[in-house]
A and B are shown apart, each in its own frame.
Chain A
Amino acid sequence: MVKVLHYLNQFFAGIGGEEKAGQELLFIPGPVGAGAVIENELKGHGVEYATIACGDNYFHEEEEKAIRAMGAALERFQPDVFLAGPAFNAGRYGLACAKVCSWVRDNWRIPAITGMHEDNPGTQEVGRHVFVIQTGASAAAMRESLQRYTLLVERLLAGNETAVENFRAEHCLSIPRRFTVRSDAPDYVRAVNLLLTKLNGQPYESEIPRVEAKRHPIPNLTGSLTDATVALVTEGGLVPKGNPDRLESSRGSRYFKYSLNGREDLRRGEFEAMHTGYDTSTVDQDPDRIVPLDAMRVLEKARRFKKLHDYYFVTTGTGAMPSKMEEIGAGIAEELASSGIGAVILTAT
């Protein structure tokens, strides 16, 4: 026998639409809506199902009261598993699902499962250990989403940790955020243990989730270089002396472009590098060592390519979030593409 408690908003609980968004939290014995589908799938396990439902606005306006009422419902029903949603791309609902699941996981130590689309703002509020099943953006994805809820509950009931972790890898959103947690051993002990596990060829998992770089297709030159404008880009932080736009020297969040028009080389004292990731003194002595303008002018005059772009682009590639760097890269690429640039030389430290 397994006891499942399922959180829904007023809409998915069939209470009403926007006019019922102020609905207080209700305890309903038995499954409702999506819950009925999951209960039916789980029948073979002997399931006792109950629902709590709450208005989207009520939860956010009266969060403390809603959580208190939810605590009372948990006390009364004593569930083994807690479900919420799926919220798809509904923002208020997604936030509520994330918060109730996080609260349940932290206070009741039972598995808490929700589901939403990756763009749902609720993903920002999800606490540690909550399962967030990836769903489509709308209720059109309901059936498939509920199958995933059922599959995860079954794997949890079977107590097969590998199967649960496989499910997490395949169907859950990976939410790389940092949490403060209490641990049994200090960091240096955990680090050495992790290293020993690795050296012994045992399976191990880092405490810091690895952010995988997205793969992009590799573009090839269309046509000949003699017809192409070539642009220089760098992550080396080279800016005009005095850093007029205040480019960050670390954890860069912006990029800039500076004119090369009328310049034959970059002179000491006119440009300087803002970058805490490398010793900038050699570049400051001759900025062509990071943005090779002098050499490119020689090759431009020799008609090796049509023209050097009038601007070089710069950011600081140190200590930053990959997601921010991706945004910066996309911004630079878009500007280059709209200026008709045919090829790019990017220097990196």
Chain B
Amino acid sequence: MVLITCLSNVAAQVGIGRIMGGSKFHYPVGQPELPPEEELRWRVSLMEKGLTALETPVQEPKIF
């Protein structure tokens, strides 16, 4: 599992393995200031990073 959140430190404290910083607290995988196509492109790259995190073996909390 990879957790996408803006509270990375809290996630690390409770022992989540894979942590990724989201965009904003109230829309972790959004960029509303971008035009829709660019926002989608940004989100695809964020999720691509998430998938890479999933492929990375970890033993203790790691912020990607």
Contact = CB atoms under 8 A, between A and B. Distances in A.
Interface in A166-222: 213, 215-216, 218-221
Contacts of B29: 288-290, 292, 295, 347
B26 A278 contact: yes
A347 B6 CA distance: 10
A345 B50 contact: yes
A299 B43 contact: no
Interface string B48-63: 1011001101111100
Given A213-B15, A286-B30, A289-B27, A348 B3 contact: yes
A112 interface: no
A282 to B, nearest CB: 5
A2 interface: no
A346 B2 contact: yes
B15, B22, B30, B57 interface centre (most CB from chain A within 10 Å): B30
Nearest to B5: A348
A280 interface: yes
Contacts of A279: 26
A285 B11 CA distance: 27
A349 B11 CA distance: 12
Contact of B28 (A215, A290, A296, A299): A290
Interface string A53-88: 000000000000000000000000000000000000
Contacts of A299: 44, 47-48, 51
Contacts of A349: 5-6, 25-26, 28
Contacts of B27: 282-283, 289-290
Contacts of A290: 27-30
Nearest to B7: A348
Interface string A302-335: 0011000000000000000000000000000000
Interface residues of B, number: 38
Interface string B23-46: 011111110100000011001101
A15 interface: no
Given A288-B43, A295-B43, A220 B58 contact: yes
Contact of B32 (A225, A280, A289, A296): A289
28 contacts: A213-B15, A220-B57, A220-B58, A236-B28, A282-B24, A282-B26, A282-B30, A282-B32, A286-B30, A286-B32, A289-B28, A295-B44, A295-B46, A295-B47, A299-B47, A299-B51, A304-B51, A343-B2, A343-B54, A345-B2, A345-B50, A346-B2, A346-B3, A347-B3, A347-B4, A348-B28, A349-B25, A349-B28
Interface of A: 213, 215-216, 218-221, 225, 230, 236, 278-280, 282-283, 285-286, 288-290, 292, 294-296, 298-299, 304-305, 343-349
In the A-B complex, the 5 residue pairs with the closest CB atoms: A289-B30, A218-B17, A213-B14, A295-B43, A278-B26
